Amino acid sequence: MSLDRRAAMATLLADRGDDLLVVPGLGSTCWDLAAAGDNDRNFYLWGAMGGAAMIGLGLALAQPRRRVAVITGDGEMLMGLGSLATIGTQKPANLAVIVFDNGVYGETGMQPTHTCSGTDLVSAARACGIGTCLDVQDEAGLADLAKRLKGLNETLFARVAIDPAEPPRVLPERDGVALKTRFRAAIGAYSSP
């Protein structure tokens, strides 16, 4: 069984609260995040493949009183698999890395990713020392993940089995400076020595 990506994103972000900061991967999860409703506390990625989880880590360490959700795809996660080891070393309590795993590279023509041929992201995350690692296969699992995300209190990794359909693209802002500025303003993040 696998879940609809747009519905899954909407479930995870329902009543998200001002303390939730979201970083998607480039591609489908970015469009899913935009489709769930624009928010100043989203930092959309249009590039930097393999970097989403680490952006989440830097953000989570800088903002320990806010929750950070990285919601990326299996292809993007595979490119930055080492970052799971880095996150497992740091273990910030306010970071969730959620992978929408549809087994394909949706942006480039639906070619299979390594998860299709056996790479198990949940086992990889667990082996990297991340405390809570979930394999979400159905609505009940998704509801449990949404609840855990609300009350996030330890590093969490979740792989969500996603149906490999390609819903229409919903394109968010793509000006990196504008996205950065509105994000920092929204959370009152000003760097001071």
Give the number of C-alpha atoms closer than 13 A to the C-alpha of residue 129, restricted to the C-beta side: 10
Q: How far apart are CA 122 and CA 32, in angstroms?
A: 22
We find the least distance from the C-beta atom of residue 119 to other proteins, in angstroms, to be 17
For residue 38, the 8-state DSSP code is -
Which residue in the set 7, 49, 116, 170 belongs to the binding site for other proteins (CB under 8 A)?
A: 49
For strand 104-105 and strand 111-112, is the pairing parallel, antiparallel, or unpaired? antiparallel
Q: How far apart are CA 73 and CA 123, in angstroms?
A: 16
Position 23 contacts other proteins (CB under 8 A): yes
Position 91 contacts other proteins (CB under 8 A): no
Q: How far apart are CA 63 and CA 56, in angstroms?
A: 10
Position 177 contacts other proteins (CB under 8 A): yes
We find the least distance from the C-beta atom of residue 52 to other proteins, in angstroms, to be 8
Closer CB to other proteins, residue 1 or residue 177? 177
Residue ranges binding other proteins (CB under 8 A)? 21, 23, 43, 47-63, 80, 82-83, 85-86, 89-90, 176-177, 179-180, 183-184, 187-193
